[in-house]
Amino acid sequence: MSKTPYELRFDVLSMARDLCMDEYHQKSNAFWQIHQSLEQAICELGNSNTFAEKQKTETITEMYNLSAMMVESIPTMPTSDQINRRAKELYEFVESK
């Protein structure tokens, strides 16, 4: 059974949503892995006795600042406009035979 034009457009829209969400999840997972590694490094440095105390404090402060900056740049969820643009790109690709 063939699909109606509405069903086809809905399928393209669903595909676009899935692509956008996959991209978001990849970026988000990478972000949190880096953030977790940074926090782990801060903890290890705080427990380390190999650095001079002043150097350790400065390094930990810099790492905390970097961590805070990273949190501000958390990947954002795709908007409906972004999903619609991706769907339009997919639809145009399918039409351009």
Amino acid letter, residue 61: T
User: In whole angstroms, what is the distance from residue 83 CA to residue 17 CA?
Assistant: 5
Q: Which tens digit of pLDDT belongs to each residue from 13-48?
A: 999 999 999 999 998 988 888 888 887 777 777 776
Confidence of residue 97 (pLDDT cuts 50, 70, 90): low
pLDDT value at residue 85: 95
Burial of 86 (0-12, 13-18, 19+ CB in 10 A): buried
pLDDT value at residue 51: 63
Three-state DSSP state, 76: coil
Question: Is the separation of the CB atoms in 32 and 75 below 8 Å?
Answer: no
pLDDT value at residue 82: 95
